[in-house]
Amino acid sequence: MSAASPLLTAEERARALTDLPGWQVTDDGRALTRELTFNDFTAAFGFMTRVALMAEKMDHHPEWTNVYNRVSISLSSHDAGGLTGRDLELAGAINRLAGG
């Protein structure tokens, strides 16, 4: 896809993480992950709904798993083959929604 954002360098990834509490970069450097725990299912899914609306607006979507009150999120720019600025933007938006 011609519109793919450029991949982040290792240095850019490391620097960005200092602004994204709760997130980790996977060992292969291709994804950002975060685990969140809520009081119950409705709180977890309510959060997911807010993220879903934001993700759709940003046209960048998470890979995520929900088990009752837990939500595991992985972000990557598949068209670019790894992490780009779009993942950092979505991670930041998710943190703001999480109140973190």
Q: Which residues bind its own copies (CB under 8 A)?
A: 41-42, 45, 48-49, 52, 55-56, 61-68
Supply the minimum distance, in Å, between the C-beta of residue 56 and its own copies: 6
Cβ closest to its own copies, residue 45 vs residue 98: 45
Nearest Cα neighbor of 45 from 70, 23, 63, 62 is: 70
Q: Smallest gap, in angstroms, from Cβ of residue 72 to its own copies?
A: 9
What is the enclosing helix (H) or strand (E) of 58?
helix 41-58
CB of 53 to its own copies, least distance (A): 9
> How far is 81 from 59, CA to CA, in rounded Å?
17
